[in-house]
Structure 1
Amino acid sequence: MEFVVLPDHPAGTDALALAPASGLPGPKVIEHHSGRPWLVGDWPDDEIVSVSAGPRRLVLLGCAKVRQEPLAAGLSRVRSLADLDGLARLAAGSFQFVASIDGEVRVQGSLSTACQVFYAKVAGVTMAANRPEALADRIGATVDEERVALELLSPFGPPEPLSEASVWRGVRSPRIGHCLEIGRNGAGRTRRWWTPPAPERPLGDGDFVREALFDAVLARTAGQPVVSADLSGGLDSTSLCFVADRTDGT
């Protein structure tokens, strides 16, 4: 999967044209309500959930378990980008969350960072993508050697806030729990939309964790005749395999 997200701004088309979409000879295009290109790229048909309500658009790209009816109903009540915070919690899975609301754009990845979002200033406006290379090509970015060295310090990359930058100069990523918002003028900003919950639950109250695990695994296994997992013997992989065994997959 590879895609870029454009602002609802005349310069968005200019930003898209600065470099060809590598490996995408015939990219798919989803438009803003205005008719300008919004999402451009290539994605499997079974890895996209798309709903609309008047001038509002919402797309989940990746593995998402959600019913479209309540998602569309919630979208119809949205009046600002901040109103989307609740909708972002409706779906289980691992996906990028992209919205176009009355000329403004919101883009965010997963809290686990398995699905990331990158952004850069291209042709005078903010452009987002799920791969940093798509932006680096357009701005002629060079490799940041210091960032590469940081990546080698840990198998999961550098900790926050060092994780905001990418290995390409000029290409950044929102911090964990933050989303990217692009205004009608094409300017981008990041905003915190999620904070860790207060440690108020008693140790014996684990039902919410079990429900979250089942929803997440079902998002991945639904409709799949065969699923597999790496079983290392640890508590994480063992739990996931037991949960997967109780789903419809085999």
Structure 2
Amino acid sequence: MALSEKRFGRGNDWFVIFEDNAYSASTAEVVLTWANFILRYASGRPFLVARMLHTPVNYHHTAAQSAVVLGHTDITSSQHLESIFTGTQIALDTLPGDTFRIIREENLLKVRGTVSGTRKVFVSTAKPKNQFISSNADIAAFLAQSDLNHGSLAARLFFPSVPYALSHASVWNNVSVLPEGHELILNLDTGRSIYKQFWHVPQPELSLDDGAEKFAVALTEAIKIRSIKPQCGADVSGGLDSTPIAYIAANNTRSPLVTFSSGSSDELHDDLSWIDRSFRHFPEVRKIRVTPSEIPSPFEDFSKCPIAWDEPFIGAAQWKRISYTAGLLRSEDVKTHLSGHGGDEVLLSPTSFIHDLIRQKPLLGYRLGRQYKSLYHWERSSLRRLITERISYKSTLIKELRNIKKPSPGVRDAANPWNIQSFRAAPWMSDFAVESASKFCNETIEGIQEPAQSRTQSAGIESILTSGNAARSISTIMGNYGIDFNTPFLDEKVISSALSIRPEDKSNPFVFKPLIKKAMSTLVPHEILSRPTKADGTADVHRGQSVNSEFILDYMETSILGSMGLIEFEKFRYYFSNMSLGQVPPVAFWATLSVENWLRSHN
């Protein structure tokens, strides 16, 4: 892997933690050039080397100890952090926001990312057993001189997506991912490290009335610690995710909030009318508003994508559209941008909660099950499976993996009790790719522990983790424009408060997002919360794929995936050219194109 400005000089922020020895100090030399924030051990060797262009940094550092918090929280200064750090560990653990936390005391180092996956920690191991701890997978891999894990990479070609438990692993050999909700504890004397869980999925015991109040406090705090920053922006889609966030932010900023709004080319969308209704209630804001025709289509200029994500991102097709948005925000001097991303996953429970509910409240469970069956047109047999299937989490993964070459299940199937979506091998994957991916998945499943929480809570947190990882990739694009992309819904306290509420209270077949409506009822005008619909952007992606189809085939004809023996181009061409037959869903192509895009950016 060649050292390049794409990796270290790119717009998104990164850090690396080195051990206090000669080998690590020598390795650190290759990244020091790109860093703008460096802390050192008493020996003078680098401890923390970082490039922080827009992420808030607070730190307390002496020769013997360090406390570093990277990200948005309510710390007002490094002196404030020092008083917290020298007080109690509990005070540091209960900080709100979305942060990396790095603590060094004597010979112990503690590092954690976020519960949602918006900030991840990667650990790579190099000879002679030196560990490099980084916020970016490819940087950790580069420092350890790691090569690609073909099995993990090939598994990213499965569609519609691989369950989070399998996609969580790095695509690099000798690079591990710190599980969300865990803390890495490294003994700097011995080099030994352990993972310690610091966050547990809460039990869903609160009613909507009791839980909504706590949720409102957590979400409002998450918004305010960001919107108080100068030059703040926010999305206003007219929906129940972004619009309440923007309204609260607009009433908390020091200068007028910069809002971004757009519609969809889908005639069935009603975003524009709800955007107009919402703005009637806002204080003074600076509006950026664009029409669907002005926004780049998905897959537009796909081959020119300059973004070097550290992991494959299935939303890569949207890079030009997100970059266009970021450019407009930057022209208005926006530095911190708030999004409603993660709202669906936090505000709603996956419908698989019916499985647990029937065992707790049979009458209510059966009634809601029938209502969801009617609403989503589920087949009766799939609802029966949702209710009766009792196999474990690992067994469910193994069962799905055995079906990898079978036709895709019907779109009218209910989820299984773990809400693990059936995944399949794309028909253009080579036998080598399918075998490598299957072997990798089987080995990963062997090491998975059964979830300690219920099926309902397990499904809820996995959907949140998937959303958090997508937000992390979007922030990479925004970072190239000097914008700090923020998702208040994905803060730890917000997630915890939402997961504490009974799923049957959060999700209702006939009431749209009751949690946000109840929680914000005294804070946000009623009309903003009265929308009963949600726009679906997939039509734009389908249209963009069609418009750019000729280019996509040219792009894939010389693919790196083909040269690696992971796909067969002629099969890809056949299925892509006959997409209208519905043999393969569009998301299968998106998965393959995202991996190809990632390989080209790292070649």
1:221 aligns with 2:233: no
Question: What's the CA shift string for 1:40-93, capped at 9, x where partnerless?
Answer: 121137620112478321111223332445532332246xxxxx4651321x32
Give the residue type in structure 2 aligned to 1:199: P
Give, in whole Å, the separation in 2 of the partners of 1:179 and 1:43. 22
Give, in whole Å, the separation in 1 of the partners of 2:198 and 2:113. 12
> Cα distance, 1:99 vs. partner?
1.3
Structure number with the bigger relative contact order (C-alpha 8 A, sep ≥ 6) is 2
Give, in whole Å, the separation in 2 of the partners of 1:220 and 1:157. 33
Aligned to 1:181: 185
Aligned to 2:94: 89
Change (3 A) 1:72 1:228: same
Q: 2:119 aligns with which of 111, 115, 120?
A: 115
Given that 1:143 and 1:168 are in contact with CA atoms closer than 8 Å, whether structure 2 keeps it comes out as yes
Give, in whole Å, the separation in 2 of the partners of 1:155 and 1:101. 44
Give the residue type in structure 2 aligned to 1:159: Y
1:201 aligns with 2:206: yes
Aligned to 1:12: 24
1:21 aligns with 2:37: no
Give, in whole Å, the separation in 2 of the partners of 1:203 and 1:241. 23
1:47 aligns with 2:56: yes
Gaps of 5+ in 2: 1-12, 258-603
Q: Residue 211 of structure 1: SS of its match in structure 2? A: helix
TM-score, normalization by structure 1: 0.82
Kindly tell me the number of residue pairs found equivalent between the two proteins.
239
Aligned to 2:67: 58
Q: Residue 235 of structure 2: SS of its match in structure 1? A: coil
Q: How does 1:64-213 map to 2 (within 5 A)?
A: 64-68=73-77, 71-77=81-87, 84=89, 86-90=91-95, 92-123=96-127, 124-153=129-158, 158-160=163-165, 162-184=166-188, 185-205=190-210, 206-213=212-219
Given that 1:231 and 1:241 are in contact with CA atoms closer than 8 Å, whether structure 2 keeps it comes out as no
> Cα distance, 1:152 vs. partner?
4.5
Question: What's the CA shift string for 1:186-228, capped at 9, x where partnerless?
Answer: 2222111111223333321222211211121123222223412
Q: Residue 13 of structure 1: SS of its match in structure 2? A: helix
TM-score, normalization by structure 2: 0.36
Give the residue type in structure 2 aligned to 1:64: T
Give the residue type in structure 2 aligned to 1:194: W
Give, in whole Å, the separation in 1 of the partners of 2:55 and 2:97. 13
Q: 1:2 aligns with which of 1, 9, 14?
A: 14
Gaps of 5+ in 1: 79-83
Identity, % of aligned positions:
22
Structure with more helix by fraction: 2
Given that 1:8 and 1:104 are in contact with CA atoms closer than 8 Å, whether structure 2 keeps it comes out as no
Given that 1:151 and 1:157 are in contact with CA atoms closer than 8 Å, whether structure 2 keeps it comes out as yes
Give the residue type in structure 1 aligned to 2:110: R
Aligned to 1:231: 237
Change (3 A) 1:122 1:215: farther
Given that 1:63 and 1:94 are in contact with CA atoms closer than 8 Å, whether structure 2 keeps it comes out as yes
Give the residue type in structure 1 aligned to 2:83: A
Alignment RMSD, CA only?
2.8
Q: Residue 109 of structure 2: SS of its match in structure 1? A: strand
Structure with more strand by fraction: 1
Change (3 A) 1:242 1:25: closer
Given that 1:32 and 1:100 are in contact with CA atoms closer than 8 Å, whether structure 2 keeps it comes out as no
Give the residue type in structure 1 aligned to 2:196: R
Kindly name which structure, 1 or 2, has the bigger radius of gyration based on alpha carbons.
Answer: 2
Give, in whole Å, the separation in 1 of the partners of 2:142 and 2:34. 16
